[in-house]
Structure 1
Amino acid sequence: MNKKLFLVDGSALYYRSYFAFSRNPLINSKGENTSATFGFLNVLLKLIELEHPDYMAIVFDTKAPTFRHKIYEKYKATREKMPEEMAAQYPRLIETLKAANFNILEKEGYEADDIIGTLARKFGKDSVDVYIFSGDKDMAQLVNGHVFLYNLPKAQAEPEILNRQKIKEKFKVEPEQIIDWLALMGDKSDNIPGIPKVGEKTASELLNKFGSLEEIYKRIDEVDKNWLREKLLEYREQTKLAKQLATIETNVPIDVDLEDLKFKMWDIQHVGPILKELEFRNLYNRMAAMSRGELNPDAFKKHDRDKVQYTLVDTTEKLDTLIQNLKKNKRFVFDLETSSLNFLDAEIAGIAISWQEDKASYIAVKHQGSGLTSDLVLEKLRPVFEDPSFLKIGQNMKYDALIMEQNGVPVKGMHFDTMIASYLLNPANQHGLDRLSEEYLNYEMIHIEEIIGKKGKKQKVMTDLSAEFVYEYACEDADITYRLYKILKEELKDRGMAE
């Protein structure tokens, strides 16, 4: 089996990591925004867990102008300046990566793409396969029999690996034609000018017919559409410039041997203090376990949406079965779906309950087509909710308890609130369920807007939707809350904050 060299576009991953947390940034107790560093490390750890790389390098851009800026002043001129709080985190990221023994490369006058291209061409042959960790389409020009594009689209998604065939399927051109493809249509992200009205489809059709940019101009009379032929002639010099800008340099003068890029496991004694200072408790535990050779410790197994057991409770028989399960376990999460966030006028659409990891049920209380009535559900659940020996767990449980009490069912035995636990552990942080799931479980939840739509006149109300449409979303909320309860409970205990 060939050895694996992973070349990570560090600059692209840093931007991606920062903006992934833009709605719910991670703020530690010192008021420091640590989102980008956390997200970056989280992705790297997943990559290592999945792929066990033999060699790895993380490649960054520098602030210095590159040769592309010298031949075209407007190159990347439309890009917004890096946000201040993002720039402020960068030294911390580099400090952490160096402490963890990661190989970091950069060179003034060149972009990360050029260093990656140079290393891919140098080492991607014989017994070494190169995987370029990047989502940028310009990297597709480097793909060959030993060089692949690699991406992790989302936290829980399977890796996307693009070989020659998949590049052709995705972009409709061969890897060797990507440069000409970009030259024809331009690249807005880099402010590379393209021929007006020439998009991906037209550029692909031209290259599939003629093979290359040079051949298009040699046989310009064979271009069928008059407007296209005229545009090609009008912007001929511009396409030459665009091709220069889009071409990744593969001969960067950089003195690196393959063995210099060998992946070296970190020493937790070295990187650990920085992780603790940043308050990355879960990343610390995860990296400590990995340094001991435990690449997938049970404490950090990922939540897998495909392996969960979520059920819709919409008959009396199913409700009775659920209540029997609760009586056996005596500890459960409950989470309400309501018609409003205002507890004074909110109606209960349904109740999600989880009593075990990866298992949850959603009781359809007031949904279209439900075979249950609100009165029936609440009366059957009353003995469980009124009995303090049944330990209740929730996320912002006070709200749900108020709604239940307003509907005549007092909640006793409130045992653990994950939102309050998060606040106790890190008061300056965000404490929403989505953010906690990403931080502790490396899992991106179904977003509420996928269910009811964006805020505005067209946003739907839970009670107007079918239970079949809602139940997986609701069950996930309860299930994730249960998983967080187990983690946060132990963290409180470790820090001497548990009762």
Structure 2
Amino acid sequence: MGDASDNIPGLPGVGEKTAKKFLAAYGSMENLFEHTHELKGKMKEKIEANKELGLLSKKLATIMLDVPVEFNAKDFELDQPDIPKVTEIFEELEFRRLIDNFTKTFAVKTEDASTETATKSTENKATPKEEASAGAGQFSLFGGDPANVTEVVTEHTRKTAENTSHFYQSVAEGMGTKLFLKNLMSQTSVCFDTETTGLNPLTAELVGISFSWETGKGFYLPVPEDKTEAQALIEQVRPFFESESIEKIGQNLKYDIKVLAKYNIEVRGKLFDTMLAHYLINPDMRHNMDILAETYLNYTPISITELIGKKGKNQLSMRDVPLEKQTEYAVEDADITLQLKEHFTNELGEAILKNYSMRLKSRYFVCLPPWN
């Protein structure tokens, strides 16, 4: 088998299963070609006709261990830069965020060097962890918050749904829905997230909607597959979405708004999009929810591939996922987005936040096509 990404052609007609079979039977490419008389039919013809291609593929895939490479660890050590000169260049180029990160990184390095001896002699004690600045996440160019510079965060130390206390509940039909809606309408700020059958908002259908207005808690409202029943349920939630007094929070709200527009729902009131908020805070970083959660909340969300599998013909639809798993995944998204909003609000500052809130709604609806 070949590898198109590395331009390794491989043997035509030989996939992973066949390659493993040949490897177990013959041990090497050369030995396979010496025993082609044991093969049959089209496979024998393809192997014999592409002998040179097979040997070339092996050569391209072989890792050379006898390359004369000289390595001196000192050549790769990070030297202390000329901070005033670098700062002057950054200021001239208006690299404001890089100036902050650069100054924090090398200022902390100096402090660490002077306090290293004292640190070694003291007993290790648990200390309260300071919150990381949203603009100085672990994916920034020069590093993170000074308070966290000595802390190594790995997947094993991150929080997950399995080790974090939470209460995620699906909303039952009938009286359960009525009680939920009554509670929903009494809130002043709610995070919501739509679960759909696809990524294209113009063709995707609603599978469910999650809501959260308190950290660690949330609700999932399953939407029936039948369009008439689905529309009837959405009509019950219409007062929430069209309420001017309830703030709506979301991650990439543009998608949710377009999906809801298919059900003749117009999302009104103050909007807060964590994806756009983070762009204002740190435009050079990626803005998807999983990365934001790991960076700012030290939390790894449930992967969508755990629910529906990898892309391909065998990938499931969200409708195929059991309700219990839908609830955990969907409400977690709303809960995490709510926590990100609370984190980012402090970073945006009053001036940016007011300007953002005023412009956000008009930006979204300019993007929306007319709906009949």
Q: What TM-score do the two structures reach when normalised by structure 2? A: 0.56
- The ranges of structure 1 where at least 4 consecutive aligned residues each deviate by more than 2 angstroms after the TM superposition are 87-100, 102-105, 258-266, 278-288, 301-306
- Mind listing any 5+ residue stretches in structure 1 that lack a counterpart? 1-72, 82-86, 106-257, 267-271, 291-300
Residue of structure 2 aligned with 1:440, choices 282, 286, 296: 296
With over 3 angstroms needed to count, the CA separation of the structure-2 counterparts of 1:359 and 1:438, relative to structure 1, is same
Q: Tell me whether 1:354 sits opposite 2:212 in the alignment.
A: yes
Give the C-alpha shift of residue 264 in structure 1: 9.3
Give the C-alpha shift of residue 334 in structure 1: 0.9
Residue of structure 1 aligned with 2:306, choices 431, 450, 471: 450
Q: Tell me whether 1:480 sits opposite 2:341 in the alignment.
A: no
Structure 2 CA distance for aligned equivalents of residues 387 and 260 of structure 1? 55
With over 3 angstroms needed to count, the CA separation of the structure-2 counterparts of 1:95 and 1:453, relative to structure 1, is same
Q: Tell me whether 1:261 sits opposite 2:120 in the alignment.
A: yes
Q: Tell me whether 1:498 sits opposite 2:353 in the alignment.
A: yes
Counterpart of 2:171 in structure 1 is 313
Give the C-alpha shift of residue 327 in structure 1: 1.8
With over 3 angstroms needed to count, the CA separation of the structure-2 counterparts of 1:89 and 1:437, relative to structure 1, is farther
* Amino acid paired to 1:497: I
Residue of structure 2 aligned with 1:98, choices 104, 109, 116: 109
Deviations 1:78-109 (A, max 9, x none): xxx9xxxxx8999889957633526999xxxx
Counterpart of 1:382 in structure 2 is 238
Q: Tell me whether 1:459 sits opposite 2:315 in the alignment.
A: yes
Structure 1 counterpart SS, 2:186: helix
RMSD: 4.3
Give the C-alpha shift of residue 332 in structure 1: 0.4
Counterpart of 1:214 in structure 2 is none
With over 3 angstroms needed to count, the CA separation of the structure-2 counterparts of 1:365 and 1:96, relative to structure 1, is farther
Structure 1 CA distance for aligned equivalents of residues 78 and 143 of structure 2? 19
- The answer (yes or no) to whether the contact 1:418–1:485 under 8 Å persists in 2 is yes
- The answer (yes or no) to whether the contact 2:159–2:300 under 8 Å persists in 1 is no
Q: Tell me whether 1:284 sits opposite 2:142 in the alignment.
A: no
With over 3 angstroms needed to count, the CA separation of the structure-2 counterparts of 1:464 and 1:89, relative to structure 1, is farther
With over 3 angstroms needed to count, the CA separation of the structure-2 counterparts of 1:384 and 1:259, relative to structure 1, is closer
Structure 2 CA distance for aligned equivalents of residues 421 and 454 of structure 1? 30
Percent identical pairs in the alignment equals 33
- The answer (yes or no) to whether the contact 1:396–1:417 under 8 Å persists in 2 is yes
Give the C-alpha shift of residue 337 in structure 1: 0.6
Counterpart of 2:272 in structure 1 is 416
Structure 2 counterpart SS, 1:416: strand
Give the C-alpha shift of residue 280 in structure 1: 9.4
Deviations 1:348-407 (A, max 9, x none): 010011111111111111369xxx941232011011111211211110001101111111
With over 3 angstroms needed to count, the CA separation of the structure-2 counterparts of 1:403 and 1:259, relative to structure 1, is closer
Structure 2 counterpart SS, 1:489: helix
Structure 1 counterpart SS, 2:195: strand
Number of residues paired by the alignment? 244
1:21-40 alignment runs, 5 A limit? none
Q: Tell me whether 1:338 sits opposite 2:196 in the alignment.
A: yes
Q: Tell me whether 1:405 sits opposite 2:261 in the alignment.
A: yes
Structure 2 CA distance for aligned equivalents of residues 474 and 484 of structure 1? 16
Counterpart of 1:327 in structure 2 is 185
Residue of structure 2 aligned with 1:366, choices 210, 213, 224: 224
With over 3 angstroms needed to count, the CA separation of the structure-2 counterparts of 1:437 and 1:100, relative to structure 1, is farther
Deviations 1:15-38 (A, max 9, x none): xxxxxxxxxxxxxxxxxxxxxxxx
- The answer (yes or no) to whether the contact 1:360–1:475 under 8 Å persists in 2 is yes
* Amino acid paired to 1:419: M
With over 3 angstroms needed to count, the CA separation of the structure-2 counterparts of 1:302 and 1:465, relative to structure 1, is closer
* Amino acid paired to 1:262: S
- The answer (yes or no) to whether the contact 2:105–2:143 under 8 Å persists in 1 is no
